[in-house]
């Protein structure tokens, strides 16, 4: 079954260029030339991934990202000509999973999209077991997280981050190590990305968020309170 991508990009040549690369890799591509149309397509069509430009007419990418994330945990890759750290932090705060700056290589974009989909589809943790910490249950086979029997909707990056912390249970891991392991060595963002995702992950875990401990000047660790 083909993976389905929604590409929202107002530059026609860029949109066609990116579309061609995705189609060569057997993706089914839905195209939108502005944010409002992109949101309409998203609401009417089931897609596996959204690639979203920021500077667009009618509705900018920030607004589209916010609207999509309010109702769905579909993976989102933001593409933009702006490379400022504050823009990247805002993108992650709104729930984006990847951030790619222009000029971009369509081949690299497709590779990042494929890697993101593999993580989303459960490539991580296929050894298949469940882990229980207080009321927090992580099922690596089903790729789900629940608390007291209620499913928690995590974005792909939040899920990867939680699994990484659990894998290093009781050990302090630095922000640098987390950034390299979860986002990749070629990621150009800064350490605030880690802090932003930790904050969002704690909020979603509720009372169980206390298991993610801040170790001042060192990093974070996942551990039940004694």
**Helix (H/G/I), strand (E/B), else coil: 71:** coil
Residues with Cβ within 8 Å of 73's Cβ and at least 6 positions away in sequence, in order, are 153, 154, 155, 156
- Residues 116, 10, single domain; the answer is yes
Quote the CA–CA distance of 11 and 14 in Å, as a whole number.
5
Phi, psi torsion values for 143, nearest 5 degrees:
60, 45
Residue 29 scores a pLDDT above 70:
yes
Instruction: CATH number of the domain at 63, please.
Output: 3.40.50.2300
Confidence band of 125 (pLDDT split at 50, 70, 90)? very low
Check whether residue 91 and residue 59 sit in a common domain: yes
Closest CA to 217 of 163, 180, 183, 176: 176
pLDDT at site 168: 83
Q: What is the pLDDT of residue 46?
A: 87
SS3 label, residue 36 = helix
Burial label for 226, CB within 10 Å (0-12, 13-18, 19+), is: exposed
The band of 35, judged by pLDDT with boundaries at 50, 70 and 90, is very high
From 100, 112, 108, 107, select the one nearest 24 (Cα to Cα).
Answer: 107
Q: Do 109 and 136 fall within a single domain?
A: no
Query: 191: domain range?
Result: 130-222
Provide the greatest CA pair distance for the chain.
Answer: 58
Considering the entire predicted model, what is its pTM?
A: 0.57
Is residue 212 predicted with pLDDT exceeding 90?
yes
The predicted structure's pLDDT at residue 107: 87
b (16+ CB within 10 A) / e for 60-77: bbbbbbebbbeebbbbbb
Domain match, 149 and 93 both = no
> Do the beta carbons of residue 193 and residue 92 sit within 8 Å?
yes
153, 97: one domain: no
| pLDDT for the residue 185 | 65
Are residues 111 and 137 located together in one domain of the fold?
no
The pLDDT of residue 186 is: 66
Looking at the fold, whether 134 and 85 belong to one and the same domain comes out as no
pLDDT of residue 127 exceeding 50, the answer is no
Q: Burial level of 128, CB count in 10 A (0-12/13-18/19+)?
A: exposed
Give the pLDDT score at 131.
80
Q: Is the pLDDT score of 182 beyond 60?
A: yes
Is there a single domain that holds both residue 105 and residue 22? yes
Last residue of a domain, one of 88, 121, 154: 121
pLDDT per residue as tens digits for the range 49-107: 999 998 888 888 889 998 888 777 788 998 877 656 566 666 677 778 888 887 888 88
* Domain boundary, last residue among 66, 91, 121: 121
């Amino acid at each position: 079954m083909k993976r389905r991508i929604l590409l929202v990009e107002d530059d026609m040549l860029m949109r066609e260029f990116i579309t061609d690369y995705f189609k060569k890799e057997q993706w089914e591509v839905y195209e939108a030339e502005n944010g409002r149309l992109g949101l309409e397509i998203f609401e009417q069509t089931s897609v596996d991934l959204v690639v979203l430009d920021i500077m667009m007419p009618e509705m900018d990418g920030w607004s589209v990202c916010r609207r999509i994330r309010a109702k769905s945990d579909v993976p989102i890759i933001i593409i933009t000509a702006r490379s400022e750290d504050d823009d990247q932090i805002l993108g992650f705060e709104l729930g984006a999973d990847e951030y790619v700056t222009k000029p971009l290589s369509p081949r690299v974009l497709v590779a990042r999209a494929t890697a993101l989909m593999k993580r989303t589809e459960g490539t991580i943790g296929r050894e298949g077991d469940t882990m229980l910490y207080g009321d927090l249950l992580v099922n690596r086979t089903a790729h789900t997280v629940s608390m007291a029997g209620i499913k928690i909707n995590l974005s792909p990056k939040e899920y990867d981050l939680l699994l990484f912390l659990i894998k290093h249970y009781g050990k302090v891991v630095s922000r640098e190590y987390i950034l390299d392991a979860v986002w990749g060595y070629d990621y150009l963002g800064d350490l605030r990305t880690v802090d932003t995702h930790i904050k969002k992950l704690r909020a979603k875990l509720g009372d169980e968020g206390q298991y993610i401990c801040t170790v001042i000047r060192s990093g974070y660790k996942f551990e039940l309170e004694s």
